[in-house]
Chain A
Amino acid sequence: MEKNDYSGFGQYNISDKLQLILPKTHIIIEKKENRFSYYRKNSEDQELRKSVPGKKDALQIELAPVLPLNLPSKKTNDLMFLRLKESIFIEKNSTVDILLQFPIEIGVFVLNNDNTRDFFDCFTCEPMHSRFALYGTPENGNLCMYGKVAQLEESEKPEPYVFAKIKATISNQLKEGVSIGKLVFPVGHHEMYYLENTSDAHIDDVAATVKKESSGKIIEIRHVDLSKKDKKWNLSLRLKPKSIKEAYIMSRGFD
């Protein structure tokens, strides 16, 4: 399957049958007598069947990227651990902007008559992204969702339905250069955006500051609203309420 043949994010009106083709994933929504049936199959041949009874004429759904916090189960306090495939060297007293891949999950929402949306299904097109990691030591570390990500060029598109883009602005306030091999931060306050009929997805930015404290070198990471946000970007529905915006201190190393 060519990347261009994949179905796009956005809303679909189903009166008879709809097939959605995504990487390693196949979805069929079909009208039966008094219901709509939903069938999903992934690359590991795992199948899911659901039914929406009571819808006689048409069913409206929305396919949208969501934060990767739900699979295989929700248990990480919204923390995301991004392991960089290539570590980044930041010179002393400098600031750099980088674009990174950011793993996503795909949400399917049912649109109601009053224009509200209800969560219906959530899956990943890359099962290797539904993994956990620990930031810190086993005694006092924090459990995080894990993603191994690469740096992107400005014009480069991330793998469709697998990654979104995230911009990180990293300032090094130290009097020496540092190498950063991982970024850990909470994403509970982040919003996810997508472009209709494409697989483009973007998440809010982060600003990271490398500095020295009594405990040693730390990175303070803060949430920043998406800088390139315009009307074309649609806001994805959240699967859980937005958490409080607060900075996260990476005090247990970042190499």
Chain B
Amino acid sequence: MTFEFLDTQIMEPGITVGRILITALIVSVGVIVARFARMIFQKRFAPNIPKDTAKNLDKLIYYGIIVIFLLAATASQGIDLGGLIVAGGFLGIVIGFASQSVVSNLISGLFLMIEKPVRQGDNVELPDSGVSGTLIDINTFSSRIQQFDGTVVRIPNEKVFTSNIRTFALSEIRRSDVTVGIAYKEDIKKAIAVMKDAIEKNVTYSLMEPGPTFWVTELADSSVNIWVRVWHPRDDLAEVMPILLAVIKDALDKEGIEIPFPQRVVWKGGSNE
């Protein structure tokens, strides 16, 4: 018969080529069902739940269905995975030692998904790694952060999990600070009023309430330094910082308020002095 080879026994008694093929077929059906379920989930349910939760559920549904089909297939075909587990146990120890960091990244990834210290789309900064940008996704072994210059940095999950993470996600606004120096002869109150007016008029994303605040922080060598603190929507740093100092300088220039540059008086010592 043409299909006699299907009864050929391989490995232990009872496991034939036919059974293995049927198992593979059932698992293939499982993959198709998983893809179908994933498609329905993505279209119907994912848009209504947070992005990162949707992505995690998506993975859970996809791989969960495949695993269920795999277990069902092996059970129905009488394939006992016990032997494989025993064999795999020893192999696992060997692989485990060899792949500590891989497993560590995997576990860290799981914890990142469960604890959610950051979410997809958040602007984050990892000071230890010198990376800042938008978190694109947390994958099985690594996370990807798109930096503000457009480049994407892939960071192992373990590093993300054990790093200090700076994020603005919990607040709808954030603050940006700059320091401006004015000459000692200038009227501080007038300078502050000029800067406040200019910021409110020209820095569109600066909040009106709480408005900009001004602290005289230092009587420095050449100038009276004023710390300017501006609140703005958390994702609009790029709308504020590039123009903030320019707006302040223009306003001070128009009002004739001097921004001094460092000056030093040098006395030339004489032999008689």
Q: Which residues of chain A have a CB within 8 Å of any CB of chain B?
A: 72-73, 75, 81, 83, 127-128, 130-134, 138-143, 146, 148
Docked pose: A127 CA to B200 CA in angstroms:
11
Determine if B171 and A132 form an interchain contact, defined as CB atoms under 8 angstroms apart.
no
Minimum CB–CB distance for A173 against chain B, Å: 27
Q: Does B37 contact A (CB under 8 A)?
A: no
Contact check: which of A130, A134, A139 meets B231 at CB < 8 Å? A134
Chain A residue at minimal CB-CB distance from B211 = A133
Chain B residue at minimal CB-CB distance from A75 = B233
Contact check: which of B204, B206, B233, B239 meets A143 at CB < 8 Å? B233
Minimum CB–CB distance for B208 against chain A, Å: 5
Chain B count of residues within 8 A CB distance of the other chain = 20
Q: Does B172 contact A (CB under 8 A)?
A: yes
Determine if A138 and B233 form an interchain contact, defined as CB atoms under 8 angstroms apart.
no
Q: Does B173 contact A (CB under 8 A)?
A: yes
List B residues 6-23 near A (Cβ within 8 Å): none
Residues of chain A within 8 A (CB-CB) of B233 are: 75, 132, 143
Docked pose: A81 CA to B175 CA in angstroms:
20
Task: Name 27 interchain pairs, CB-CB below 8 A, sorted by A.
Answer: A72-B204, A73-B236, A75-B233, A75-B235, A83-B208, A130-B204, A131-B207, A132-B232, A132-B233, A133-B207, A133-B209, A134-B207, A134-B209, A134-B231, A138-B171, A138-B173, A138-B175, A138-B231, A139-B170, A139-B171, A141-B171, A141-B172, A141-B173, A142-B172, A143-B172, A146-B207, A148-B208
Docked pose: A132 CA to B173 CA in angstroms:
10
Docked pose: A72 CA to B232 CA in angstroms:
12
Determine if B207 and A132 form an interchain contact, defined as CB atoms under 8 angstroms apart.
yes
Given A134-B172, A138-B173, the answer on whether A81 and B231 have CB atoms closer than 8 Å is no
Top 4 nearest A-B pairs (CB, nearest first) are A133-B209, A143-B172, A146-B208, A133-B208
Docked pose: A130 CA to B172 CA in angstroms:
17
Q: Which residues of chain B have a CB within 8 Å of any CB of chain A?
A: 170-173, 175, 200-201, 204-210, 231-233, 235-236, 239
Docked pose: A139 CA to B168 CA in angstroms:
10
Residues of chain B within 8 A (CB-CB) of A133 are: 207-209
Chain A residue at minimal CB-CB distance from B232 = A132
Residues of chain A within 8 A (CB-CB) of B239 are: 72
Determine if A132 and B208 form an interchain contact, defined as CB atoms under 8 angstroms apart.
yes
Docked pose: A141 CA to B205 CA in angstroms:
16
Minimum CB–CB distance for B206 against chain A, Å: 8
Given A75-B233, A83-B209, the answer on whether A131 and B204 have CB atoms closer than 8 Å is yes
Minimum CB–CB distance for B234 against chain A, Å: 9
Minimum CB–CB distance for A184 against chain B, Å: 10
Docked pose: A81 CA to B210 CA in angstroms:
12
Residues of chain B within 8 A (CB-CB) of A130 are: 204
Minimum CB–CB distance for A240 against chain B, Å: 16
Chain B residue at minimal CB-CB distance from A131 = B208
Residues of chain B within 8 A (CB-CB) of A131 are: 200, 204, 206-208
Residues of chain B within 8 A (CB-CB) of A143 are: 172-173, 233
Determine if B170 and A134 form an interchain contact, defined as CB atoms under 8 angstroms apart.
no
